[in-house]
Amino acid sequence: MERDNLMHGARTALNTIPEMREWAENYLKEKTRGEKPEMSDEEFEKYWKYHKPEIMHAGAAEAAQAWREDRRLETGD
């Protein structure tokens, strides 16, 4: 249940904070690219185009946490 709440909160944040969504999309795209080194750039772009929605959904909580950590490091808090 807690995981569902985290996912829901992260998805809501990604859908309401454009800066966070853009950062999260880049984060997940780079992460996914690193997991697919055997693909050419062209193959990966096609893969990303079709799998982006499911990757963004599945990685929402991780990306939101990474975004918060990145912001914390930027501000020195």
- State pTM to two decimals: 0.86
pLDDT in tens, 17-64: 999 999 999 999 999 999 999 999 999 999 999 999 999 999 999 999
Whole-number pLDDT of residue 75 = 77
Whole-number pLDDT of residue 77 = 62
Place of tokens 């693909």: 39
